[in-house]
């Protein structure tokens, strides 16, 4: 569990470094700073995966089976939010942080269907990071200029890759022993 916690904390720090330790981050320079952040993020992912997979199962609650369907819907929304970051559609003009919104939706979806302590640490920790990051960005850059809304078709076209990506992720989860569709 310690490795999992370390991974979540390292992930949060690597993504918040510029805002929580700005002098340190600035002292690294632009390219070195990005390299350090990327290296810490990669190490964090390794820690989280190994820590999660090796954590003792401590069941806190047993989620009802119907939450699997809500999870799948939320995951489709999360993938859509992740993909629209480069969209010129109406949805993108309403959401300032589509990637962080995607992480929050993804984490919430996984909290609904996983009632064990390791899942609460992993998904709850990443949800907390995304909330804090969003707050800090909004505080440091309060004057967001909304992009001009585009067409509805610009939004609709991003549904196809979201559905395809959902299928690939679902197959990968099934391969790992976590069937999400059945």
* DSSP string for residues in 8-40: HHHHHHHHHHHHHSHHHHHHH-HHHHHHHHHHH
pLDDT in tens, 69-84: 999 999 999 999 999 8
pTM (predicted TM-score): 0.89
> Does the pLDDT value for residue 120 go beyond 90?
yes
Residues 78, 105: Cα–Cα separation, whole Å: 5
In sequence order, the 6+-apart residues with CB closer than 8 A to the CB of 40 are 10, 13, 14, 17
Cα-to-chain-centroid distance, residue 160: 20
Q: Looking at the structure, do residues 47 and 70 belong to the same domain, yes or no?
A: no
Q: Looking at the structure, do residues 33 and 79 belong to the same domain, yes or no?
A: no
How many independent structural domains does the chain possess? Answer: 2
Q: Which domain holds residue 23?
A: 1-55
Q: Looking at the structure, do residues 37 and 70 belong to the same domain, yes or no?
A: no
Q: Looking at the structure, do residues 104 and 51 belong to the same domain, yes or no?
A: no
Residues 115, 64: Cα–Cα separation, whole Å: 10
Cα-based distances in Å from 127 to 105, 120, 123, 167, 173: 8, 10, 6, 23, 20
pLDDT in tens, 80-106: 999 988 788 888 888 999 999 999 999
Q: Looking at the structure, do residues 11 and 83 belong to the same domain, yes or no?
A: no
């Amino acid at each position: 569990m310690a490795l999992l916690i370390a991974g979540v904390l390292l992930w949060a720090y690597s993504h918040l470094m510029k805002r929580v330790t700005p002098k340190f981050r600035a002292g690294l320079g632009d390219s070195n700073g990005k390299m350090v952040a990327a290296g810490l993020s990669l190490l964090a992912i390794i820690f989280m995966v190994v820590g999660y997979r090796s954590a003792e199962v401590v069941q806190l609650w047993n989620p009802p089976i119907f939450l699997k369907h809500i999870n799948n819907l939320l995951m489709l929304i999360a993938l859509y939010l992740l993909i629209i970051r480069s969209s010129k559609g109406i949805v993108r003009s309403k959401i300032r942080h589509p990637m962080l919104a995607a992480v929050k939706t993804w984490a919430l979806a996984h909290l609904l269907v996983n009632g064990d302590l390791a899942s609460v640490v992993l998904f709850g920790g990443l949800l907390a990071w995304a909330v804090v990051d969003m707050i800090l960005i909004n505080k440091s850059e309060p004057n967001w200029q909304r992009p001009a809304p585009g067409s509805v078709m610009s939004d609709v076209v991003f549904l196809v890759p979201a559905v395809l990506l959902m299928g690939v992720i679902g197959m990968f989860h099934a391969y790992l022993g976590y069937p999400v569709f059945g």
